[in-house]
Amino acid sequence: MKNKRILIVDDSSVMRKIVERSLRQAGLDLAEVVEAGNGIEALAAVREGVFDLILSDINMPAMDGIEFLRQLSTIETAKGTPVVMVTTEGSESRVVEALSIGAKGYIRKPFTPDQIKERVTPLLEVLR
Amino acid sequence: MKPMLDARARNGVRPDSTWTGIMDCAVKEVFQIMLQTDLTSMPGSGDGAPVGDTTAMVGMAGALCGVLTIRCTSHTAESITARMLGSSGPVKPSDVTDAIAEICNMVAGNFKGKITALADRCMLSVPTVIRGDDYEMVSIADGEQLSLCLAYGGSPVWICLAMHN
């Protein structure tokens, strides 16, 4: 699984680094990792390029992950890009809401690299 | 936009005697998974007031209204940050703020996720971090408080959930 272009959306820069490290520990050969601190920055990144996978937090300032997902669905070049929510959100309704508007899965924080691998690998294998 | 809390959430959940154990478990899990570190209990520290110049706070609203705080010294916060990042060198102050905020956020999420009556009926705020120790937190609403002190590498980490009635 080589040359994947990934977008990581989280208001915590530490968490973005941890997610990237976990992806690498999971054995993914990442061509490029782009970081965004909220949904607005993420939408700007998506308009500039195509990603193989997007990992997004839900609870963020400025624009949260749910609104990001809604607006993402209107961007033609992003259609088909799998989005996985990475969240502390213990609320099932928020996760269900994310899944109902296009998220392909979710990972609850705290997470292990194995949990990232388990969720992400099948989505990237489809793209191979 | 976040959904409005529904009518169910307005029926408050009362804390019970199991909550301290649940919080203890929630905190230890976060440190174990994210830092590969086992927190231990800190005998004798439970009676004193929390100390430390780094405090992270997350607000909770819905079936439970309150504030979860995690407080420790800046030295401990730096050590936690370095371990989270897998770094052996010095860490940036902005990363320390970020890491402590995220730990607090994960503890709050993990805690409420373990209590069925809260999991779907309580929302979390974006975290806030206070630097400095010359302050006193006073809750306007009388309510119960759940506190524990755990040792991270021999240094105390205070966890407090102040609940509103």
Closest residue of chain A to B82, computed from CA coordinates: A14
As to burial, measured by CB atoms within 10 angstroms (0-12 exposed, 13-18 middle, 19+ buried), residue B138 is: exposed
B53 and B131 Cβ atoms separated by less than 8 Å: yes
State pLDDT tens for residues B83-142.
999 988 899 999 999 999 999 999 999 999 899 888 778 888 889 999 988 887 776 667
Q: Is the bond preceding residue A110 a cis peptide, omega within 30 degrees?
A: yes
Rounded average pLDDT over B30-54? 85
Q: From CA A12, how far away is CA A36, in angstroms rounded? A: 10
The pLDDT-based confidence of A59 (bands split at 50, 70, 90) is: confident
Residues in a beta bridge with A121: none
A54, A110, A27, A81: CA torsion to nearest 10: -10
The pLDDT-based confidence of A41 (bands split at 50, 70, 90) is: very high
Q: Residue A91: is its pLDDT beyond 90?
A: no
Question: Which among B85, B112, B122 has CB closest to A17?
Answer: B85
Q: Residue A22: is its pLDDT beyond 50?
A: yes
A105, A107, A108, A114: CA torsion to nearest 10: 150
A37, A41, A43, A44: CA torsion to nearest 10: -150
Best mutation target, A11, A13, A14, A18, to test chain B (most B CBs within 10 A): A14
Cβ-based contacts of B23 with chain A (< 8 Å): none
Q: From CA B105, how far away is CA B124, in angstroms rounded? A: 8
Q: From CA B2, how far away is CA B6, in angstroms rounded? A: 12
Three-class DSSP category at B59: strand
Rounded average pLDDT over A4-9? 94
State pLDDT tens for residues A81-90.
999 999 887 6
Q: From CA A36, how far away is CA A20, in angstroms rounded? A: 13
A13 and A37 Cβ atoms separated by less than 8 Å: yes
Inspect the interface and report whether the beta carbons of B34 and A90 lie closer than 8 Å: no
Three-class DSSP category at A22: helix
Query: What value does the mean pLDDT of chain A take?
Result: 89
How many beta-carbon contacts under 8 Å exist across A and B? 76
Q: When comparing pLDDT for A75 and B42, which is higher?
A: A75
